[in-house]
Structure 1
Amino acid sequence: MSDARPVHTQALVLFSGGQDSATCLAWALSRYERVETIGFDYGQRHKVELTCRGRFLEALKQRYPQWARKIGDDHLLDLALLGQISDTALTQDKAIAFASTGLPNTFVPARNLVFLTLAAAIAYRRGLTVLVGGMCETDYSGYPDCRDDTLKALQVALSLGMDSRFLLDTPLMWLSKAQTWHLAESLGGRPLVELIREETHTCYAGDRQTRHAWGYGCGSCPACELRRKGHDTYLEAPAP
C-alpha cells in the first residue's frame, strides 16, 4: 500500500538574525531540500538584528556552497502594529524588569503566535510545509509562546485552519544554550560558530559596539546573560 502522506522536504525558517535562529537555519539547510527565510520588523529596540540577518545570509552562502544552492527567497514583513500595541521593554524605551506575572517585561504578548501564523500563510502560498523556529524551553526567559505545548497546539490549529498539514520544527526546544553552540559546531564546524559569534545579534539593547568573547551586546540584559553563560559552558565542556 502506498503512503499518501506528504513528504516534508521544503521549509520556511523564522530567521531573526539571532544566535538561535541562525543555528536553526543551518540545521534546516542540513535537513531539507529547499529553505526560505522570514523575518519581522515589529518596532523592536534591537532592530539592528534585521541588518545582521542580511549579512549572515550572504556570508553563509559564500562559506557553505553546499547550502547556498538550497537557500531560496527571504521574506521580511512589516509588523509595526505589533510594536504599537505592545507596552514592553522590547518595543519601548524602558528599563528591563520583571512584571508581577513573573515574566520579564521584554515579553511581547502573542509575538510568536503572530509570527508563526503569518509564516504559515507565506508557506502555504510558497508550497512549503515545514516551519522552523528557534523557540526553546530550556535556557529561556519563560515566555509562554516559546513552550512546547503552545507550539504543538499551534501546529494543530494552523494545519486545521488552512487544511494543509504543517510541521513545526523546533530543534532547540530541549537544548541548553551551550548545546546550541555545540549543535552549530556539529553542523558547520568552528567556522559556523565564528560566523554566528560575529554576525548574529541577540542583545535586547541593540548594542553592536561592545565586543565580547561570545559576540556583541550590552552584556547585562537577559538575552546577553543567556548567550554569555551558554558560550562559557560550551568552551568549558566538549560536545557529548
Structure 2
Amino acid sequence: MSLFPPLLPRHALVLFSGGQDSTTCLAHALSRYERVETIAFDYGQRHRVELDARLNVLQALRQQFPAWGERLGEDHLLDVNVLGHISETSLTRDTAFAMEASGLPNTFVPGRNLLFLTLAAALAYRRGMDVLVTGVCETDFSGYPDCRDDTMKAMQIALSLGMDKRLLIDTPLMWIDKAQTWQLAHELGDASGVADGGKALVDLIVEHSHTCYLGDREHRHAWGYGCGSCPACELRARGYARYSAAA
C-alpha cells in the first residue's frame, strides 16, 4: 500500500535548482500533484554548474521514474542577473565564506527567495498553476531569514492577495533535517511504483544533483560531488552520514 494519498487535482510549480533539497521537493510534488512544472533562476551564482546539473536530474527522473515523467511538464529558466549585480555575497562574488556581524553567513543573498517566489507566482498565474513548491527549511539550515516559516506564510498571503488568486506555498522540508530529507527521498522513491525506487531515487540524487557552493563536480564522495568543505557540502555530508547509519 502506498504511503502517500491519491494525487491532488492541483497544478504545482517547483522551484528547482537541481540540488538535494529541490530534487526531493520535485519528487514530493510528483507524488502529490496532478501536474508539475519546474523553474530555476540564473542570478550570476558562483556555482552556476547547478543549472547544468538540474537538467541531468530531470532527464534521469524521466528515464527512471516513467510514471512521474508522464506528469513532469515544462521546465523554465529565468535570467535574474540583476540579483547578482546588487549582492555582495560569497555566492555571487569570489570571496571566502565567513560569518557576518549580523550573525548570518555571507552566503545569504538578500531578497533571493522573495524574488524567486514572486517571479514563480507570476509564471504560475500565467500557466494556471496554484501551488509553489520550495525546499526552504528552518531546521537544518544556515539561518537565512527568507527560508523561515513565518516568511513563507507571509509570502503566501501577499502573493495570493497580489495575484487575486489563492496560492499555496508548499514547504515539505521546513521542519526536517538533512538526514530526514535523504530518508524522505527514499520513501518517495519507494512509493513511486518503481522496483527498488527508494534506492534508485537516493542514488539519482547522489549522482546527479548539485549542492556545493564552489561548483565542484570533480571530487566524488559517498554523498555526491563537491568540495567537501563549504557549508553546503558539510550539511549534505553530515545528513547523508546520519541517514546511512540509520538505514
The TM-score range, normalised by the shorter chain, is: over 0.9
Kindly state the Cα deviation for residue 116 of structure 1 after the two structures are TM-superposed. 0.2
Mind listing any 5+ residue stretches in structure 2 that lack a counterpart?
1-7, 190-197
Write out aligned runs for 1:191-202 (5 A): 191-202=200-211
1:62 and 1:224 mapped to 2: Cα distance?
A: 27
CA–CA distance in structure 1, aligned partners of residues 129 and 163 of structure 2: 13
Partner of residue 228, structure 1: 237
Q: Which amino acid aligns with 1:105?
A: N
**Could you tell me which residue of structure 2 aligns to residue 129 of structure 1?**
130
Count of matched residue pairs: 232
Partner of 1:4: none
Matched residues in 2 for 1:193 and 1:237: separation? 14
Quote the Cα distance in structure 2 between the aligned partners of 1:8 and 1:191. Answer: 27
Secondary structure at 2:217's aligned position in 1?
coil
Offset of residue 8 of structure 1: 5.6
Deviation for aligned residue 1:237: 1.2
Equivalent AA in structure 2 for residue 200 of structure 1: S
CA distance in 2, matches of 1:17, 1:8: 25
Deviation of 1:9 (Å): 1.0
Equivalent-residue separation in structure 2 for 1:43 and 1:237 (angstroms): 38
1:151 aligns with 2:152: yes
Match of 1:65 in 2: 66
Residues 9 and 34, structure 2, Cα contact 8 Å, conserved in 1: no
What is the SS of the residue equivalent to 1:121?
helix
Given residue 236 of structure 1, which amino acid in structure 2 is its aligned partner? Answer: A
Query: RMSD of the TM alignment (CA)?
Result: 0.8
1:94 and 2:95 equivalent?
yes
TM superposition score normalised by structure 1: 0.96
Uncovered stretches (5+) of structure 1, i.e. residues with no partner = 1-6
Comparing 154-163 and 8-17, the one that deviates more: 8-17
Q: What displacement does 1:100 show?
A: 0.4
1:216 and 2:225 are equivalent in the alignment: yes
- TM-score, normalised to structure 2, is 0.93
Contact 1:45 1:92 in 2 (8 A): yes
Which amino acid counterpart does residue 10 of structure 2 have in structure 1?
A: T
* Corresponding residue of 1:3: none
Partner of 2:212: 203
